[in-house]
Amino acid sequence: MRTVYTHCIAHAKRCGVDRPRSAGTDIGRPCGREFRQGHPEAGNSRGGAGLGRSPPAGVGATIRLPTLTTADMSLTSTAALADLTGPAPRDDGLAIVYIDASLLLVNKPAGLLSVPGRGEDKQDCLARRVQAEYPDALIVHRLDMATSGLLVLARGKAMQRRLSTQFANRQVDKRYVAVVNGLPPLASGEIDLPLAADWPNRPRQKVDRLAGKPSRTRYQVLSHDPVANTTRLALWPDTGRTHQLRVHLLAIGHPIVGDGLYAEAGGAACAAGERLLLHAESLAFAHPETARPMAFCCPAPF
């Protein structure tokens, strides 16, 4: 059993999805303590005209984050990780957003691994559920287990290579939606902080200015809830580091609501939600067979 949705470019544009960016987005400048912010006007709702497109990079003021000491390099303590895996969500059938002979897009539920993990209890995953119905489906990219949203699979190795090349060359437009604690000081900004694995606390990641890989995230405020003191953000990761969005937002003092993995560093508000309030809302890329621009939108369930 499966649920099939059909989305076209016209529908996706209502979610603010642009066509894929050209290859070679320049992110090669040095990564310091910059938290660059612009000043576009924010909307008052989840969506809103003009809020779907990424804010211009490198525009606006620069706010310096406090200098971290060696002891601060890890954003978490060395305490043992809690058991955050839990059972996979019930298999109620695939939520297919789009399918053709070359690829398929699925709306991954929160709490489901993208690919199998280590151990018998971590074999249920989106890839295997899809392959049970479409044996030629191959994974192209991944979402964190706790993250929901759009995930594309290729049909056959040739299509997998072509789609993987687009991801590697940063030719895929990806937009996420998150609800975070607090309100960023300005309506849009850029977080440019290098990230590395926090080896004593794996699978956690950390800001590491000495050995971290360049990592950049752009954000834009969509709405603010003054009662709950939470803010809905649109997020554009220019790089694809593990837990990038989660660690970047935590590092600037606005952890994603419901993030149990980083709850200790983010405080009580970080773990307040029933699930991680992070959703891969839109994808735009070129069809691997025809090169036709494709854009898809799957609104967040929160």
Catalytic-residue membership of 100: no
Q: Are 127 and 151 in contact (CB under 8 A)?
A: no
Alpha helices in the chain (DSSP H): 9-14, 126-133, 157-168, 244-251, 263-266
- Residue 202's identity, in one-letter code, is R
Catalytic residue among 72, 92, 136, 144: 144
Show the tokens assigned to 37: 């912010």
Q: Are 152 and 105 in contact (CB under 8 A)?
A: yes
Q: What burial letters (b/e) apply to 189-202, b meaning 16+ CB within 10 Å?
A: bbbbbbbbbbeebe
- Secondary structure of 241-300 as H, E, C letters: CCCHHHHHHHHCCCCECCCCCCHHHHCHHHHCCCCCCEEEEEEEEECCCCCCEEEEECCC
Nearest to 278 by CA among 54, 31, 110, 60: 110
Neighbours of 21 (CB within 10 A): 16
Give me the active site residues, please: 144
